[in-house]
Structure 1
Amino acid sequence: MSTTSPVNEKSAVEERPHHEHHHTSHMDAETRAIANADAKLSNPLRGIPHDRLMADVEIFAQERGLTHLLPELKKGALVAQDSTCHNHLDMFSEEDKRILTEEVTHRWRQTPTLYYMVVMSSLAAAVQGMDEAVINGAQIIYPTQFGIGDPNSKRDSWLVGLVNSAPYLCCATLSCWMTHPLNHYLGRKKTIFITCMISFLTCIWSGLTNTWWHLFIARFFLGFGIGPKSATVPVYTAECSPAPIRGALVMMWQMWTAFGIALGDLIDLVFYFIPDTPGVTGLNWRLMLGSAGIPGLIVCLQVLFAPESPRWLISKGRYEDAFNELCRLRFSRVQAARDLYYIHVLLEAENEMKQGRNRVVEMFTIPRNRHAALASWVVMFGQQFCGVNVIAYYSSNIFLASGFSQVSALASSLGFGALNWLFALPAVFTIDTYGRRNLLLFTFPCMAICLLITGFSFWSTSETGRVAGVSIGIYLFAIFYSPGEGPVPFTYSAEAFPLYIRDIGMSFATATTWFWNFVLSITWPSLILAFKPQGAFGWYAAWCCILWVLILLFVRETKGKTLEELDQVFAIPLGTHAAYGLRQIPYGIKKFVLFQNPVPEQLYQLESDSEVSSTRGDEKARKEVKDDVDKTNV
C-alpha cells in the first residue's frame, strides 16, 4: 500500500525569529520521527497522485474481494484524501455532493442506527455512574447490619472503606489490563455485552449478601464489569462516529456517567423508604445495590442489535461485514466506502509504525512521549485527588455528620448528583473555548476554597450554620468540578499521546485514575476518624493547591492544535515549560488582580507561514486531481 512521503523534518520552532528561540527548543531526532509518524497516521493518503491512488484502490478491491464496490471505493478514496474534492469533480452525483456537504454543514443530522449506538453508549456510561452512586446511600444502612457500623472504630472504618473501594481495587490491579485482550479477541460489542452482564449479575449478587466480606467479594467482581467497559465504550463510540461529531460523542461518556451518578442518588432516596419484609432485613439497601444492574441488562439487550466497530472488523479481515456495518451508520455507500478504505490504509500505516518498536518503553524513554505521559498522569491523578469521589461515594455520611437526617442526607446527595450532571453539559462547549489548561487553572483554586468551606463548617456551633456551610461547599464544588476536572482528563489523555502509542497511553491513563480512585475511597473513612472532617477536607483542599502548581508547570495546552503542532508543544523541554509556567504567575496577578493589560507570552506560538504553505499546497493538489480525473473521463 502506498503511503505519503515524510513531512518536512524542520520544526516550525526552527523557523522563528532569533528572539523567540528562548521560548522553545528544536525537536530532537526522536521527536521528528514521531512527527513524521503522526503526519503519516493523520492522513496516509495525503500526497498520493491520482493515478497511483486509483491503482491502489483497484488492487485493494481485488485482494479483499470487493470488486463489486469498485466505483464507490474510488469515490471514497478521493474523498478520504481530500474531503472537499466532491465539490469540483464531475464523477460525484448531485446526491453524493448533497450528503457529503451536509455531513459538515448539518453535522448532527445522522442515521437512526448511529443515534441508536449513541443511546446504548450513554446507557453504558450511566451504568458506570450508578455503580459508583448506589453505594453512597447503601453505606448509611448496611454497615450496622454487618457489624462494622461503629464510626469511632478504626477496624470498622477500614472495613467500610475496603468494601466501598473493592471494584476499583479490581480495576487497578486486574480488569483494566484485560481491556486489550477482550477487545482483540471478542470485539467491541461482545466486550460491552460481557462487562454489562457482569455488572448486572454482580449488582444482584451484592444485594443478596449477608456479611461484609461476602459483599466485598461481590463488589470486587463488579470491577470486572467496570474497568474494561470504561475503556471500551469511548473507543467503540469513536470508531462508529463520523469525524465532524466524533469528539463531542466521545465526551458524552463523562456527561452520562455524571447522569448515572444523579440517577443512582435518586434511587437511593426512593428505595430508602421500602420497609423490610419477613425474613429479609435491609431490603432498602439491597434494592439500592441491585438496581444499579438494571441499566446494564438493558445495554446487554440493546448491544445485540447495534453495529460492530468497522475498525475491529477490518482488523480481522472482515471487509464485507465492515462495509455493511458502515452502510448502517452512514447515509450513503460513498461515505461507507470512504471510511472503509481510509480505516484500511490507516491500519496499514499503524502496523508499519509498530514493527520493531517497544511502545511501552518508548512512552517513557522518548522526551516527547514522557512529557505527554507526565501531563496525562497529573490530570488523571488530579481527577481523584481533587476530592470529587470522596463526595460522590460518601456524601450521605458527610451530610449525616453535619446534622442532616438520613432522608435529608440522601436528598442532599441527590442535589450534588444533579448539579454534577447539569454543569457537565456546558463542558461540551467550554473545553474547546477556554482550553484544557486554563479551565484547570481556574477551577482548582475554586475547588480548594469549596472544600475548605465544607470542612471548616463543621466547627460551627450552630446546626443551621453547619448544615448550610456543608451544603454550600459541596454544591459549589460540583459546579466548579463538572466543567473542568470532570471532562478534561479523558479528553486530554486521548489527544496528548502520539497516534502510534495512543492505545497504550490511554490504558496507562485509565489505570492511573482507577488506582487513585481505590486509594481515595478506601482511606476516607479512616481519614475522617483520624483528622475529623475539618482536617480530611483540608487534606484534599491542599492537594487541589498542589495540583494547581503541577498543572501550571507540567501540563501543556492542547486546545485546537494539530498533531504536528502537538509534537512541537510536547517537545519543549520540561524545564523550559516549568519556567514559562512560573512566569505566568506575575502575568496573572497583573491581569486579574491589578486589572492591568500585560502582553501574554506565547510559548506555543507556531509558524503561520507553514499553514499558509500547506493550504496553497492542498489547493494545488486539488487542481491536479481534477485535471487527472478530467483526462481519465475523456
Structure 2
Amino acid sequence: MSEINKNDALQASKEPHSLAFVIRVSVVAALGGLLFGYDTAVIAGVVGFLQQKFELSSTMVGWAASSAIWGCVLGAMIAGYMSDRFGRKKVLIVTAILFFISALGAAIPNNLTEFVIARFIGGVGVGAASMLSPLYISEIAPSHIRGRLVSLYQLAIVIGINVIYFVNLKIAGSGNEAWNVDMGWRYMLGSEMIPSVLFLVLLFIVPESPRWLIKKGRKEEANDILTKVNGKQKAGELMTEIETALAQESGTIGDIFGKGLRMALVVGMVLALFSQITGINAIIYYAPEIFKSIGFGAESAFMQTVTIGIINTLFTFVAIWLIDKLGRRTLLIYGIGGMILSLIGVIICFQFDVTGPWLLIFILGFIACFASSLGPIPWVLISEIFPTKTRGVAMSFCTLILWVGVIFITQFTPVLLESYGGAFTFGVFLINSVILFVFVRMKVPETKQRTLEEIEHSWTK
C-alpha cells in the first residue's frame, strides 16, 4: 500500500501538467458547490423581508425557505440515474441552466406561490449538483490528492455562502427597510444569474468522467483523460483496475443493499443525514433572525452572518490541508467533538440569557469545527465508497437522505425557535451530534490514499 502511494506521488511529480489539468477540471466542477452555497444561503437575507412582503406566519416562513429543498430532493433522486445514462458532464450542464431559470423567476414573483415554484426549480439543480460535482471530481482525481480535490467542492459551497452574505449585506444597505421589503430581496435572488452563466460556460471546457466513459465502452477517450491526470504508465494500471471492477459488478440498485456494500450504504446515509441535522443549516439559513432574537439590530445581525461566512471559509482550508494527512475518520472525530462542546456553550447562552459576545463565540466555534470536518468529509466519503457501476445511484440515494434532513431543519427551525426557544432547538442538535460521534467511532472506516477500486474491494472481500 505504501509503495502504491509512493508511486502515485512520484508519477504526479513527473507529470506537472497533469496536476494543473486535474486541478483546473476539479475547480470547474466545484463551481456546482459555489452555486449550491449561493442558492441555499441567499434565503438568509431574503426570508425576513419576504415574511413582511407576503405577511407570512412562522410555518409559511419555513415553507418559503424549504421550497427549494423539496426541489433538491427531486434533483438528488434523478441525478444518479440521469448521470449514469447520459454522463456526468451533460447533467451538470442542465443544472447550470436550472440555476439561471430559478434566479430569474425568484426575483420577479407577485405572490408566494410563484416564488415557491421558482425556488423549487433551482432546488432541482442544487440537488443534482450536490451529488454530481463531488462524484465527478472523485472519478477523475488521483488517489493521493482525491480528498483535497473533492474538498474543493465544500470550499466552493462556503465561498458561495460567503459571497452571497456580502451581496446580501451590500444590497440591504442600499435602501431603507421599506425598499428592502419591496425590492431589495429581489436583487439578492436575481444576483445568482451571474455565477450560473459562468458555471454553464466553463462546463463546456471540461471532459467527461473517465470511469463513466469506460463503463460505456469508450475506452480510448477514457485513456486519454486518465493519461492527462496520472501519466501514461499509471493510466494503464487504472484502466485495468476499473475494467476489472466493472466486470465484477452487476450494476443493479440491489447491489448497494446487498451483502458487503450494505454497510457502505449505512455509512453514507448516516453521514449525509447527520451532516445536516446537527445544526449547520439552522445557522446558515436563519442566522440573521437568530441574532435579531437576542437583541442585535438588523445591520449588526447581517454583519455577524458575514463573520460566520468568513470563519466557515477559513476552516474549510484547514480540512483541505489535513484530510489527506490525518485522514477522514480522525478529522471527523475531532471536529464533531468540538461541535458538541460548542453546542453546549450555545445552549447555556440561551438558557441563562448570557449577554455579550459569548453566543457569537460559541456559534463561530461550532462553524469552525463543522467546516474542518463534517462539512467536507461526508461529500468525500460518499463519493469514494461505492462501486463504479452503482456509484451514481448510490450517491443519489445518500444525497436524497441528506436533503430530507435539510427539509426537516429548514421547515421546523423557525417553529422550534418561536415555540420552544433557542436552548431547546440547539439541544436537539446536540443530541444528534452525540449520536453521530458514537457512530463515527464505531463504524466509519479510513479511506485516505486508497484507490476507488481498493475501497470497493475492502467492502466486498
TM-score (norm 1): 0.65
1:298 to 198, 210, 214: 198
1:128 to 30, 33, 36: 36
1:330–1:336: 8 Å Cα contact kept in structure 2?
Answer: no
SS at match of 2:276: helix
Residues of 1 paired with 2:325 and 2:134: CA distance? 22
Identity of aligned residues (%): 28
2:22–2:141: 8 Å Cα contact kept in structure 1?
Answer: yes
2:44–2:287: 8 Å Cα contact kept in structure 1?
Answer: yes
Greater relative contact order (CA < 8 Å, ≥ 6 in sequence): 2
1:177 to 77, 84, 90: 77
Residues of 1 paired with 2:403 and 2:418: CA distance? 24
- Aligned twin of 1:476: 365
1:403–1:467: 8 Å Cα contact kept in structure 2?
Answer: no
SS at match of 1:417: helix
Q: Does 1:510 align with 2:399?
A: yes
1:360 to 253, 256, 277: 253
1:402–1:470: 8 Å Cα contact kept in structure 2?
Answer: no
Residues of 2 paired with 1:423 and 1:212: CA distance? 36
Q: Does 1:138 align with 2:46?
A: yes
Residues of 2 paired with 1:208 and 1:178: CA distance? 28
Larger Rg: 1
**Deviation readout 1:548-600 (Å, 9 max, x if unpaired):** 2333333344456678986897689xxxxxxxxxxxxxxxxxxxxxxxxxxxx
Deviation at 1:411, TM superposition (A): 0.9
Q: Which runs of 5+ in 1 are unaligned?
A: 1-41, 43-80, 85-99, 149-155, 573-634
Residues of 2 paired with 1:568 and 1:108: CA distance? 30
- Aligned twin of 2:331: 439
Aligned length: 459
Deviation at 1:417, TM superposition (A): 1.0
Residues of 1 paired with 2:267 and 2:218: CA distance? 38
2:29–2:133: 8 Å Cα contact kept in structure 1?
Answer: yes
Residues of 2 paired with 1:499 and 1:318: CA distance? 15
SS at match of 2:355: helix
Q: Does 1:117 align with 2:25?
A: yes
1:168 to 54, 59, 69: 69
- Aligned twin of 1:375: 267
1:429 to 306, 317, 321: 321
Q: Does 1:492 align with 2:381?
A: yes
- Aligned twin of 1:226: 126
Deviation at 1:145, TM superposition (A): 0.5
Residues of 2 paired with 1:118 and 1:565: CA distance? 22
Deviation at 1:289, TM superposition (A): 1.1
Aligned CA-pair RMSD: 3.4
1:252 to 134, 152, 170: 152
When structure 1 is superposed on structure 2, of 310-319 and 547-556 the one drifting more is 310-319
- Aligned twin of 1:153: none
Residues of 1 paired with 2:298 and 2:398: CA distance? 37
Distance 1:212 1:561, change over 3 A: same
Deviation at 1:511, TM superposition (A): 1.5
Distance 1:510 1:209, change over 3 A: same
Residues of 1 paired with 2:23 and 2:449: CA distance? 26
Distance 1:276 1:457, change over 3 A: closer
When structure 1 is superposed on structure 2, of 396-405 and 422-431 the one drifting more is 422-431
Deviation at 1:375, TM superposition (A): 2.3
2:111 to 205, 211, 221: 211
Distance 1:126 1:280, change over 3 A: closer
Report the structure, 1 or 2, having the larger helix content: 2
**Deviation readout 1:472-506 (Å, 9 max, x if unpaired):** 12111111111121122122223344556444432
Deviation at 1:422, TM superposition (A): 0.4
Distance 1:560 1:304, change over 3 A: closer
Q: Does 1:410 align with 2:311?
A: no
1:171–1:223: 8 Å Cα contact kept in structure 2?
Answer: yes
- Aligned twin of 2:437: 548
2:43–2:65: 8 Å Cα contact kept in structure 1?
Answer: yes
- Aligned twin of 1:186: 86
When structure 1 is superposed on structure 2, of 280-289 and 209-218 the one drifting more is 280-289
